[in-house]
Amino acid sequence: MGRAGTCNSSRRIGSRRSSLGGSVAKRYEPAVVEAKWQRRWEANKTFKAVDCSEKPKYYVLDMFPYPSGAGLHVGHPEGYTATDIVSRYKRMRGYNVLHPMGWDAFGLPTEQYAIQTGQHPADITQRNIDTFRRQLKMLGFSYDWDREISTIDPGYYKWTQWIFLQLHKMGLAYVDEVPVNWCPALGTVLANEEVIDGRSERGNHPVYRKPMRQWILRITKYADRLLEDLEDLDWPESVKEMQRNWIGRSVGTEVRFAIEGHPGEGISVFTTRADTLFGATYMVLAPEHPLIDTIVTDTCRRAVLEYRAAAVQKSDIERTDLIREKTGVSTGAYAINPANGQTIPIWVADYVLASYGTGAIMAVPGHDQRDWEFARKYRLPVVEVVRGGNLDDGAYAGDGPHVNSSFIDGLNVEEAIDAMNEWLEARQLGRRKVTYRLRDWVFSRQRYWGEPFPVIYLEDGTIRALDESALPVELPQEDSVKPSGTGESPLANLTEWVDTVDPETGRPARRETNTMPNWAGSCWYFLRYIDPHNDDVLVSPEKERYWMPVDLYVGGVEHAVLHLLYARFWHKVLYDLGVVHTKEPFKKLVNQGMILGLSYADNRGALVPADFVVHRDGGHFHRETGEPLTELPAKMSKSLKNVINPDDVVKKYGADTLRAYEMFMGPLEASKAWDTKGVEGVYRFLLRVWRLVHGWDRNAGAGKADTLLRVRHQTIKKVTHDIEAFRFNTAIAQLMIYVNEMYKAPHLSAEDLEVLTLLLSPIAPHICEECWERLGHTESLAYHPWPEYVEAYTLEEMASYGIQVNGKVRGQLEVPAGTPKHQVLEQAKAHHNVARYLAGKQVVKEIFVPGKLVSLVVR
């Protein structure tokens, strides 16, 4: 369908007399209508949220976007439309709605682009933000734009830095020289969460371990609270489960092993299976373990050092690639098993992780598959201590009676763990302990385009956190950003900025040149929307108490762990400081699914770019080879030429169509493929609505019967419930049914059309405002009360029964609603087709489901 064709056709139809009678109707021009209402909403500040009003509040939050150079993609409007529908619906329901938008504007890609092009990141970011803002306004979202914030604004990051100072004061921020994920290609250090399979999440570059001086946040101190408080959140179970797994709480025992010939030393290990201590036949230290140098024997020293050097240099990807084949070397030293006094060899192997537990393990090859594989390879003894498996085939990790284990023989695993723990604790050889998979959060980045740390280093190496009065510590205004070349931040070369003086002593000092990671600004932005221009406090306590918590938070699953865990952590810190009054920031969380593009595969499964596909006879064929192709959803990508740009869709069909289509595609949480034909279907629906309203003659239906009473009330009921439950696709389907009925009706009342307009308005606000005006209203419908339904009016007059005989439907029966059971049964049995199946049989059971069906069992 040509662009011009769409518009011309609507003009022709629109200019004709409607079959419903009435005056010459105006043509539907989305561009005109949408611009008109967007101007009016902006001029009237229609969506301004009032702080601390009498009305009940409702806080609807979108995950604010990173303003990339590519602009908005069709995935953004999905979640944003969903929250906008809820916002508009809640306003009509009498709520004071806070629905803000802002920019997560610091970020690595912008910095890299700035370096490549010799521009300043701030300039690029500002242009990107302008594009995003224009696109969001074009879609008619009901944001309170007076509350717009940006994480790069010094007035904003002043408070990000302020929170850091509080973290520092509370002992939750510390500096450490730790092996970090060093990515040479990006020239920076990454958090564990930004490394996937040993490669950088951004750019897919290899990542190596390198010790560096870093700021680290003690998130592990909050591990238990982060875990426990998940319980009460109205979040998708999958997200909660991911967070639980990420925190990885593990209850076990720390056991201390003495080392032969080193009376002062010992090796602590963490185990969840203390009951298998009698089966510990060797120990393994991680290559980074500090005791290696002390205990290694002279004959083994060289091999161990070589092994360690090789292991430390490996990237994570190389380490994990070697999952199948475990390697290690003996230290020559021996430990003493505290349970039975036996000497057992100490090995070094990189299958033991330095960063988990104590960085050392007791190896129980009989009952741990990893230890079993290692023992096999290096011919270490395997001892069975729990009966139930065959140790020639592999380790046995199941339950069973203990053997070869002295005082715990015969006990099952659970009892044996308790018994062993008591035994160890009584002799002070070990103690119960909880370990987490969660690590402290490496909080430094070697970048320019991030929040500077409010920290200086004195000449003697002392770290001094600046006073709050020194905030914000602003980024230096440079014309362009150049890499330092040393792996340090580009800030390191800007000596005028770096060299400073200690405000307390007046002595020379150097600023911290690392900056904060992207997550910092997004950890608390939802608080700043509440009080965006306050220079004295992060957020006024009064306003915080009114607006928090966020009632609804919508965003992509990609933030299931990172952003949401960090934000919860900071929120708990702010809670402890008394800045906020809720333990958790986000009451309800909804993840929108991904929007995929259509793509085409040939019979080998290879994807064919869209410009090589010809559509004819209802099939899809390769332009050059002519071979038939199958259609399937795939991620939108430049190479497949299947990227849908929201600007183009709005230009052709309008924002209302884009909004309604994205909601109509399917359930919000599901991944769905974009279908241009589907967009046209939704456009046609809006066109039908438009013609209904604009072709309507108020006098034609006056005083006539209310023929649409039932379907109207059914529609109010269904749309209301569906919006409450985030089922926008079925809400739209019901509105389509209603419109179809309206086209069949002999005449329409003002109420018929007003209800339609109001119910559709959260989804397609521009066209509905225009229709509302056409129906004679002078005020915006944004705060008009939501239609109410009367349950009695929704009920059908006639009940349609399906009649089953032995479970198969044999007939239909229409009776007045409320017909008593015995009458329905009587008529059902008399049904001529049903009677055929009853003839000569005996009815042994009659089931009656009121209003639905009759089921007869015959023998």
Partner RNA sequence: GCGAGAGUGGUGGAAUUGGUAGACGCGCUGGACUCAGAAUCCAGUGGGCAAUAUGCCUGUGGGGGUUCAAAUCCCCCCUCUCGCACCA
**Shortest Å, Cβ 136 to RNA:** 25
Q: Per rule CB under 7 A, is residue 680 in the interface with RNA?
A: yes
CB 294 within 8 A of CB 265: yes
**Shortest Å, Cβ 718 to RNA:** 10
Tell me which stretch binds RNA (CB under 7 A): 401-409, 578-586, 785-793, 799-807: 799-807
β-pairing, 613-616 vs 96-98, is unpaired
Q: Mask: binding to RNA, 734-773, rule CB under 7 A, as x and -?
A: --xx--x--xx-----------------------------
Within 249-392, residue ranges assigned H as helices are: 292-295, 298-313, 316-321, 369-378
Residue placing its CB nearer to RNA in the complex, 393 or 535? 393
**Shortest Å, Cβ 744 to RNA:** 6
**Shortest Å, Cβ 320 to RNA:** 5
Within 314-408, residue ranges assigned H as helices are: 316-321, 369-378
**Shortest Å, Cβ 657 to RNA:** 11
Q: Which two tokens stand for residue 402?
A: 């203990």
Q: Per rule CB under 7 A, is residue 100 in the interface with RNA?
A: no
Out of 95, 208, 351, 448, which residue is the one contacting RNA (CB under 7 A)? 351
**Shortest Å, Cβ 302 to RNA:** 23
Residue placing its CB nearer to RNA in the complex, 14 or 490? 14
Q: Per rule CB under 7 A, is residue 714 in the interface with RNA?
A: no
- Angle between helix 765-774 and 676-694 (nearest 10): 10
Contacts of 494 (CB under 8 A, 6+ apart): 476, 478
Q: Per rule CB under 7 A, is residue 268 in the interface with RNA?
A: no
Q: Per rule CB under 7 A, is residue 437 in the interface with RNA?
A: yes
Residue placing its CB nearer to RNA in the complex, 395 or 530? 395
The interface with RNA within residues 167-196 (CB under 7 A) comprises 196
Q: Per rule CB under 7 A, is residue 431 in the interface with RNA?
A: no
The interface with RNA within residues 613-642 (CB under 7 A) comprises 618
Q: Per rule CB under 7 A, is residue 733 in the interface with RNA?
A: yes
- Which helix (H) or strand (E) element contains residue 259? strand 250-259
Tell me which stretch binds RNA (CB under 7 A): 91-99, 454-462, 513-521, 728-736: 728-736
Q: Per rule CB under 7 A, is residue 315 in the interface with RNA?
A: no
Q: Per rule CB under 7 A, is residue 605 in the interface with RNA?
A: no
Tell me which stretch binds RNA (CB under 7 A): 131-139, 147-155, 493-501, 845-853: 845-853
Residue placing its CB nearer to RNA in the complex, 510 or 688? 688
Out of 533, 638, 677, 859, which residue is the one contacting RNA (CB under 7 A)? 677
The interface with RNA within residues 5-34 (CB under 7 A) comprises 5, 9-10, 12-13
Indicate the SS3 state at residue 671: coil
β-pairing, 250-259 vs 262-271, is antiparallel
Q: Per rule CB under 7 A, is residue 678 in the interface with RNA?
A: yes
Say how many residues make up the chain: 859
Distance, in Å, from the CA atom of 780 to the CA atom of 788, rounded to the nearest integer, reads: 19
**Shortest Å, Cβ 844 to RNA:** 8
**Shortest Å, Cβ 36 to RNA:** 24
Q: Per rule CB under 7 A, is residue 490 in the interface with RNA?
A: no
Indicate the SS3 state at residue 271: strand
Quickly tell me which residue has 């240099």 as its tokens. 313
Residue placing its CB nearer to RNA in the complex, 219 or 732? 732
Q: Which two tokens stand for residue 494?
A: 């800007």
The interface with RNA within residues 538-577 (CB under 7 A) comprises 557, 560-561
CB 698 within 8 A of CB 636: no
Distance, in Å, from the CA atom of 754 to the CA atom of 759, rounded to the nearest integer, reads: 8
The interface with RNA within residues 270-299 (CB under 7 A) comprises 270-273, 286
Distance, in Å, from the CA atom of 728 to the CA atom of 427, rounded to the nearest integer, reads: 64
Residue placing its CB nearer to RNA in the complex, 650 or 660? 660
Q: Spell out the SS3 assignment of 101-119.
A: CEECCCCHHHHHHHHHHCC
| Peptide bond just before 472 cis, omega within 30 deg | yes
The interface with RNA within residues 247-266 (CB under 7 A) comprises 248, 250, 252
Distance, in Å, from the CA atom of 320 to the CA atom of 205, rounded to the nearest integer, reads: 16
**Shortest Å, Cβ 374 to RNA:** 8
**Shortest Å, Cβ 81 to RNA:** 16
Contacts of 604 (CB under 8 A, 6+ apart): none
Backbone angles phi, psi at 721, to 5 degrees: -65, -40
Residue placing its CB nearer to RNA in the complex, 21 or 261? 21
Q: Per rule CB under 7 A, is residue 857 in the interface with RNA?
A: yes
**How far from chain centre, in Å, is Cα 698?**
48
Q: Which two tokens stand for residue 121?
A: 């990141």
Residue placing its CB nearer to RNA in the complex, 122 or 397? 397
Residue placing its CB nearer to RNA in the complex, 147 or 727? 727
Contacts of 72 (CB under 8 A, 6+ apart): 65, 131, 132, 135, 136, 646, 647
Out of 71, 389, 556, 666, which residue is the one contacting RNA (CB under 7 A)? 666
Helix count and strand count (H, E) for the chain: 28, 33
Tell me which stretch binds RNA (CB under 7 A): 48-56, 398-406, 503-511, 668-676: 668-676
Distance, in Å, from the CA atom of 501 to the CA atom of 457, rounded to the nearest integer, reads: 10
**Shortest Å, Cβ 677 to RNA:** 3
Q: Per rule CB under 7 A, is residue 326 in the interface with RNA?
A: yes
Q: Render 199-231 in DSSP notation, one character per residue.
A: EETTT--B-EEEEEEEEEE-GGGGHHHHHHTTT
Q: Per rule CB under 7 A, is residue 855 in the interface with RNA?
A: yes
The answer to whether the Cα torsion of 578, 582, 583, 585 is positive or negative is negative
Q: Per rule CB under 7 A, is residue 667 in the interface with RNA?
A: yes
Residue placing its CB nearer to RNA in the complex, 50 or 434? 434
Out of 341, 703, 807, 840, which residue is the one contacting RNA (CB under 7 A)? 807
Q: Is 649 exposed, middle or buried (0-12, 13-18, 19+ CB in 10 A)?
A: buried
Residue placing its CB nearer to RNA in the complex, 273 or 766? 273
Residue placing its CB nearer to RNA in the complex, 502 or 697? 697
Contacts of 550 (CB under 8 A, 6+ apart): 59, 60, 61, 526, 585, 586, 587
Q: By rule CB under 7 A, what count of residues binds RNA?
A: 91
Out of 52, 70, 353, 501, which residue is the one contacting RNA (CB under 7 A)? 353
Q: How many CB atoms lie within 10 A of CB 64?
A: 23
**Closest to 527 in 3D by CA, of 570, 467, 471:** 570
Q: Which two tokens stand for residue 823?
A: 């009458």
Q: Mask: binding to RNA, 502-541, rule CB under 7 A, as x and -?
A: ----------------------------------------
Tell me the sheet residues that pair with 629. Answer: 620
**Shortest Å, Cβ 281 to RNA:** 13
**Shortest Å, Cβ 848 to RNA:** 9
**Shortest Å, Cβ 110 to RNA:** 24
Q: Per rule CB under 7 A, is residue 237 in the interface with RNA?
A: yes
Q: Per rule CB under 7 A, is residue 357 in the interface with RNA?
A: yes
**Closest to 170 in 3D by CA, of 769, 570, 544:** 570
CB 83 within 8 A of CB 554: yes
Residue placing its CB nearer to RNA in the complex, 58 or 801? 801
Distance, in Å, from the CA atom of 553 to the CA atom of 528, rounded to the nearest integer, reads: 15
Tell me which stretch binds RNA (CB under 7 A): 89-97, 244-252, 335-343, 388-396: 244-252
Residue placing its CB nearer to RNA in the complex, 250 or 582? 250
Distance, in Å, from the CA atom of 573 to the CA atom of 577, rounded to the nearest integer, reads: 6
